[in-house]
Structure 1
Amino acid sequence: MNKLCWSLLFFIGTLPFATAQQKQVSLEEIWNGTFRTQGLSALHSMQDGKHYTVLGNNPGNRTVSVDQYNYLTQEKTATLVSTSMLPQVNEFSRYTFSKDEQKLLLATDIERIYRRSRRGIYYSFDRNTGNVVKISERKIQEPAYSPDGSKVAYVYENNLYVFDLEDKSTRQLTDDGKTNAIINGVTDWVYEEEFSFVKAYAWNSDGSKIAFLRFDETEVPEFSMDVYGTSLYPQQHRFKYPKAGENNAIVTLHMYDVDSGKTSQVSLGDAYYIPRMKWMNNPRHLSVQTLNRQQNNLKLHRVDVETNEVTVILEEKDAAYVDVTDDLTFLSDDSFIWSSEKDGYNHLYLHASNGDQLQQLTKGPWEVTRYYGYDRKSKRIFYQSTENGSINRGVYSVKKNGKGKQSLAADPGTNAADFSADFSYFIHSYSSATTPPRYTLNLGSSGKVVKEIKDNESLLSKLKGYQISPKEFSTLKINGNDLNMYMIRPLDFDPGKKYPMLMFQYSGPGSQQVANRWMGSRDYWHQMLAQDGYIIACVDGRGTGFKGRDFKKVTYLNLVKLETEDQIAAAKKLSELPFIDPDRTGIWGWSFGGHMSTNCLLKGNDTFEMAIAVAPVTSWRFYDTIYTERFLRTPQENPSGYDDNSPFNYPELLKGKYLLIHGSGDDNVHVQNTMRMVEALIQANKPFDWAIYPDKNHGIYGGNTSLHLFTKMTKFIKENL
């Protein structure tokens, strides 16, 4: 064995089924649900902290219900509502409670718009009276109860409305909403995609005010794509999509007074983006977060809605960019918990209501990855972090003074928690590379397991009959950094043989692929390839997440450059291993990873012999403002950052085998990216393979689509690697 040293690699555990196997994983089994894990339905903790509700489906009598369970016993204690009680409602797929939990909004006939946005028909069910009220005859968006449960606000055709449940009257709050022009109360495409929210209005705590955002998209360029469907003529889908350097919507904050019916605009100075707004406990005070276009200066404002006074109470600046999170939590006195990377790692802080920092709650060379909440009774903060290693996740709590940290669930692997409303219990979910998801009921005070809920032992038993190879975790020293990696070898691995290697990565800013968690569908596909004699390797290079601010943001202004260098260097180093065939190295990825695999094949044409790119970006000039400018600034400011790593600018570098795949209905990474790459390769007279999936979005799925896609990719690999 050479200097790279196989001791670099270590088993994170031995799979109980990694012995004599007979069966091979098949593509059909991966996509027909053979290896599907059992999970828990999304639950809603009731305010008493002792019960939770889930959406129940009974195929036998064709009913849908909201069922209440006891945390401790895990037994059903009541059915709060069922379609059997509602002659007007045949089904519902979602529900939300009023603040007092006596009413439920039931969502029916849901129609997807984009990644997070939906419209549908909604009903309000009153648990006390049994009355059911239809909110609107039309499909509406983002309905929400007023604090006292007497009204429901919603958005219809870009205008904001309020429906009175008692007198059944509807009040229209805005009247200028217009498709591809003006939006009130919900976000535009780019906010939904990159700031991860749709509902852009909120009731204050006493129901006297509604704050909402207004988007003026008039000057935003319009994107169009053909939808082929099954009709004689295709239709064209047109929507506003601001590409890097182009005009964004002008977003403004407005305040509606419920009693007077008057709306006023709130001036936020030079605010460019408004990525978050949240009412404080004081009904007079609204918190609003704003960002400049470069996204390196975030301000937290307090708006006094009685005086219209706006005060900046906290400001975050960064040489690169500031991330927006949902961690902001106001305590009873409107002091607040906030997350920040200002000490080099993402940590939690406690601030006074005026913004003064009172306490750094967490600290260390690790990242807080999720904030769960604050328990007023015990005065403890609950969170998830990488304290147990960057590829792992643990659940912890700490006192409000930053002391008394307690580990609640931190075994090597991925631990997550869903806490009861009073933090007395949490549903603990755990998985690792060797353990499929299991669920237990734990005490919030100590983490002690109270009850086993569900495991996937039946799946483990099933997998004993298959050829499953262990996932081996390690670090690889590349360009001065210890990069996390995993490797999957054939189960009948012979160190005296040489094997082709396929690398998989995503590599986007703050992302992670090398994680100690259970397998997904792509992992099973990798297992199938390992059965056929391929070694699979995955390396998280510079720019990926959970190893500190500097590691993540080192790629700023040169997106894909350092990431590509790391993958090429990793491939070269791994090819030094005596059992890797250096002349048979491939790489594949999706989206950002598709950009990466394309770049690696071109810029690393002496290293990679094959690449597959699925739904790739091929020029950041084609991608949206918020995401792209966060990492590159605008093309006007940083043209080389956009063009030096755009693969259709150097198609002549292609030497290896290349498969390019895209969905024609991709509203996120437009098929334009693939078409430009295809044209560049044609004009360079370079051979390649490609496939377009009609009307499929960025995920390229539905029906037999996934099976067809991965069958094609498998065939390409076997023929070319």
Structure 2
Amino acid sequence: MKKLFIFCTAIMMAMELCAAEKIDLKSITSGAFSAEYISGINPIEGTDQYASISSNRKQVIRYSFKTGKQTAVLFDADKVGNGLVEEIDGYSISPDGKRLLIQTHTEYVYRRSFKAVFYLYDIKSKKLAKLSACENQQIPTWSPDGSKIAFVYNNNIYITDGDHETQVTSDGKFNSIINGLPDWVYEEEFGFNNAMAWAADPKTLSWIKDDESRVKTYSLQIFKGLKPANEEYSDYPGEYSYKYPKAGLDNSIVSVWTYNLTDKQTHQLPVPLDSEGYIPRIKTTADSHRIVVYTMPRHQDVLNLYAVNPYNQNVKLMIKEQVEKCVKEEAMEGISFGKNTILLPSDRDGYMHLYLYDYNGKLLRKVEKGNYDVTTVYGYDEKTGDVYYQAAAINPHDRQIYVSHSNGRVERLTHREGNNSALFSGDYRFFVNVWSDYNTPYEFTNCTNQGNGIKVLEKNDALKAKIAKYGWTKKKPFSFVTSEGVHLNGWMVKPADFDAKKKYPVILFQYSGPGSQQVMNSWSTGSMGNGGAFDMYLAQHGYIVVCVDGRGTGGRGSDFEKCTYLKIGELESKDQVETAIYMGRLPYVDKNRIGIWGWSYGGFNTLMSMSEGRPVFKAGVSVAPPTNWKYYDTIYTERYMRTPKENPSGYETNPIQRSNKLHGALLICHGVPDDNVHPQNTFEYAEALVQADKDFKEVYYTNRNHSIRGGNSRNHLLRQITNWFDTNLK
């Protein structure tokens, strides 16, 4: 009877597998497996309310953190838009809560910068008017009292109160002078798009000015193309030329300026700065006589926080943060300024922890401690002394929310293993918890600041049903120890009809860049997002898909993360080779059919791994790879490598130099006008392969940038990746 039961169960399981629908690439690239995600949530300062954009992108709605219920419609395009606002791309609420800035017709410039049409909306009078006659403004920024807005147009700064407009600067010029905005490399590598700071009064506006005139220009070719078609280039291609500083070469000259709205005078602020130093942030504080300016030397191993008085130009060094090798950009992003305190993340003791200072630079306390990294800072409630943060305290691939009280007692506010993030109310009494794990889409829950759930806002039940219908299998974590004694973590996806008696081909996906993590117990994990839909597609095609975070990745302290300093690519590629060797020893893996792929840094490490010297990869795909770090930008590259002059041997460790060692069938894909990783990288690498007499295949994408999106491009790219592995591993 027992054998009959087992036999029948096996038949039923087989029938279910056969009945599962097959994933197709167009469903992946069209967003059919995208999770519902509550977007545009903005806590309203000092309250238990938040606002967000409606699902049809027509309304800005206010909700209660406490109940999760709607409390008001702040803006309705159909009722007050007069046809001017067809869809809301974004919005911001004035600090006094009386007005809204509505963003529409957005046009992205680079990764974080964009131009848009902005409308100023008075909630009480329901009056809607354009922010300015200037078209396509950038970074409109409310003054602290909500009475004024500063914005940038054509690299110059303007101020308006909604009725009267003042032009603050006039020297702005494309590829020369930028006021109030970061240049390309600051935006990309310091991770911000707004370089202006109001004083608290607000009677002064201060900003960072970039003089990029000495930075060398890089030109990208633009063709007619399709979807969209650029008819002006139907006979001859055009070009987009912009300033891009490459490793070891000239950066922009940066300075800080202030404008007094009372006397209409502009002054340069005398912030101390090394001759080749950076100014990566400027911040408002609660004191009208103090803004904060960050500076770093070119090596990025020191971060200085200066208090600057915009009225009398007095400058005072408050905090000098100096760590071994480099200050992480994520740590700098996590600094928060209260009325009387500064909360500073630092990995000075080997792990990222939080330190509380006063504005005289006195250390008040270390907020928490342990052998784990704090990964996100949510804020400091100065009324209670409570600090809220996210940390990888359970293990490197798990994230939980914590509160540290003024007496040093730490409480964990979330209790489901996986990935927990939070958005706190303006009064810190409530938060929205966003939870997911490897195999469960995002769930949004309103919670008290003790972590008690109040109301589930979104569970993605429809997506859960869909992935079950398509027979998705589970991502399962694993770990192993390399021949060098390094403990590595990974996850694995097996085919739904997996048979341990068979031998399967394996595809390794990795990114491997400094501080990154691809092995995270989160729905966002996977080669192309969307819960790893592309990985599931490959599994349905008979592959085992594997991802391992090697040395240099994040979540495991600074020693593990920074061990690749001055030699990026060397250890990362060894660890992917070790992963392939480990997989090849498993009884259900065919060690002669292992492939590897990655995008950007992952593309770089694909090439490094395929030419590491041990011939373990039969095939690989490299998308938009850096191939020699001297072609990449100053800030990112020198953060980990210093300059080519200072570290020639480190720069010589690259795919071009290793081209004669390439083993396995290689496909390289690149967007022709990639402004991030220039196609120069692939062109020069291809030439090296030709001269080394190595066979390979190239696919280029016309008028597509680093993300290779638009029209049918992404679908085509994923098909090339799939076909390449089918041809070479099946």
Fold match, TM over 0.5? yes
1:385–1:395: 8 Å Cα contact kept in structure 2?
Answer: yes
**2:625 matches 1:625:** no
Once the two structures are superposed, residues 485-535 of structure 1 have per-residue CA deviations (whole angstroms, 9 ceiling, x without a partner) of: 112222222222221111111000000001111252472222222222222
Corresponding position of 1:97: 93
Which secondary structure does the structure 2 equivalent of 1:681 belong to? helix
**2:119 matches 1:116:** no
Q: CA RMSD in A?
A: 1.8
2:420–2:436: 8 Å Cα contact kept in structure 1?
Answer: yes
Shift of 1:309: 2.1
Corresponding position of 1:49: 47
Instruction: State the one-letter code of the partner of 1:674.
Output: T
Counterpart-to-counterpart distance in 2, 1:132 and 1:522: 40
Counterpart-to-counterpart distance in 2, 1:99 and 1:316: 31
- TM-score, length-normalised on structure 2? 0.92
Instruction: State the one-letter code of the partner of 2:398.
Output: N
Instruction: State the one-letter code of the partner of 2:433.
Output: H
**2:355 matches 1:349:** yes
Which secondary structure does the structure 2 equivalent of 1:621 belong to? helix
Aligned pair in 2 of structure 1 residues 460, 521: CA closer, same or farther (>3 Å)?
closer
Once the two structures are superposed, residues 563-590 of structure 1 have per-residue CA deviations (whole angstroms, 9 ceiling, x without a partner) of: 1111112211221222221111111000
1:18–1:491: 8 Å Cα contact kept in structure 2?
Answer: no
1:384–1:394: 8 Å Cα contact kept in structure 2?
Answer: yes
Counterpart-to-counterpart distance in 2, 1:696 and 1:689: 19
Query: Which of 16, 22, 25 in structure 1 is aligned with 2:23?
Result: 25
Corresponding position of 1:526: 535
1:393–1:410: 8 Å Cα contact kept in structure 2?
Answer: no
Corresponding position of 2:413: 408
Which secondary structure does the structure 2 equivalent of 1:350 belong to? strand
Query: Which of 67, 70, 80 in structure 1 is aligned with 2:74?
Result: 80
Q: Percent identity?
A: 38
Counterpart-to-counterpart distance in 2, 1:512 and 1:663: 25
**2:126 matches 1:130:** yes
Corresponding position of 1:226: 221
Alignment length, in residue pairs? 695
Which secondary structure does the structure 2 equivalent of 1:648 belong to? coil
Instruction: State the one-letter code of the partner of 1:462.
Output: K
Which secondary structure does the structure 2 equivalent of 1:191 belong to? helix
Query: Which of 646, 649, 673 in structure 2 is aligned with 1:640?
Result: 649
Counterpart-to-counterpart distance in 1, 2:486 and 2:621: 27
Corresponding position of 2:491: 486
Shift of 1:674: 0.8
**2:381 matches 1:385:** no
Corresponding position of 2:247: 244
Shift of 1:45: 1.9
Deviates further, 311-320 or 221-230: 311-320
Counterpart-to-counterpart distance in 2, 1:326 and 1:42: 20
1:499–1:580: 8 Å Cα contact kept in structure 2?
Answer: yes
Shift of 1:698: 0.7
Query: Which of 325, 336, 340 in structure 1 is aligned with 2:342?
Result: 336
Corresponding position of 2:62: 68
Counterpart-to-counterpart distance in 1, 2:380 and 2:615: 54
Query: Which of 649, 668, 672 in structure 2 is aligned with 1:660?
Result: 668
Counterpart-to-counterpart distance in 2, 1:128 and 1:493: 62
Once the two structures are superposed, residues 111-156 of structure 1 have per-residue CA deviations (whole angstroms, 9 ceiling, x without a partner) of: 1111111112222111233333322222211112223333221111
Corresponding position of 2:333: 326
Which secondary structure does the structure 2 equivalent of 1:111 belong to? strand
Corresponding position of 1:187: 182
2:306–2:318: 8 Å Cα contact kept in structure 1?
Answer: yes
**2:376 matches 1:370:** yes
Counterpart-to-counterpart distance in 2, 1:317 and 1:179: 35
2:577–2:614: 8 Å Cα contact kept in structure 1?
Answer: no
Once the two structures are superposed, residues 594-636 of structure 1 have per-residue CA deviations (whole angstroms, 9 ceiling, x without a partner) of: 0001111122452111110001111111100000000000011
Counterpart-to-counterpart distance in 2, 1:570 and 1:19: 34
Shift of 1:712: 1.1
Corresponding position of 2:172: 177
Once the two structures are superposed, residues 61-80 of structure 1 have per-residue CA deviations (whole angstroms, 9 ceiling, x without a partner) of: xx822122233343323222
Shift of 1:18: 11
Query: Which of 199, 213, 216 in structure 1 is aligned with 2:208?
Result: 213
Counterpart-to-counterpart distance in 2, 1:415 and 1:211: 36
Which secondary structure does the structure 2 equivalent of 1:354 belong to? coil
Corresponding position of 1:537: 546
Aligned pair in 2 of structure 1 residues 436, 522: CA closer, same or farther (>3 Å)?
closer
**2:198 matches 1:203:** yes
Instruction: State the one-letter code of the partner of 1:34.
Output: A
Deviates further, 85-94 or 578-587: 85-94
Shift of 1:406: 1.1
Once the two structures are superposed, residues 208-267 of structure 1 have per-residue CA deviations (whole angstroms, 9 ceiling, x without a partner) of: 111101100111000001111332232210000001011000000111111011111112
Query: Which of 434, 437, 442 in structure 1 is aligned with 2:442?
Result: 437
Corresponding position of 2:158: 161
**2:578 matches 1:564:** no
Counterpart-to-counterpart distance in 1, 2:251 and 2:460: 47
Shift of 1:88: 6.6
1:285-324 matches, within 5 Å, as 285-324=290-329
Which secondary structure does the structure 1 equivalent of 2:561 belong to? helix
Which secondary structure does the structure 1 equivalent of 2:605 belong to? helix
Counterpart-to-counterpart distance in 2, 1:48 and 1:649: 57
1:605–1:653: 8 Å Cα contact kept in structure 2?
Answer: no
- TM-score, length-normalised on structure 1? 0.93
Counterpart-to-counterpart distance in 2, 1:650 and 1:543: 21
1:227–1:665: 8 Å Cα contact kept in structure 2?
Answer: yes
What residue ranges of structure 1 are gaps of 5+ in the alignment? 1-16
2:667–2:698: 8 Å Cα contact kept in structure 1?
Answer: yes
Counterpart-to-counterpart distance in 2, 1:353 and 1:498: 63
Query: Which of 128, 136, 140 in structure 2 is aligned with 1:139?
Result: 136
2:507–2:595: 8 Å Cα contact kept in structure 1?
Answer: yes
Counterpart-to-counterpart distance in 2, 1:369 and 1:303: 29
**2:469 matches 1:465:** yes
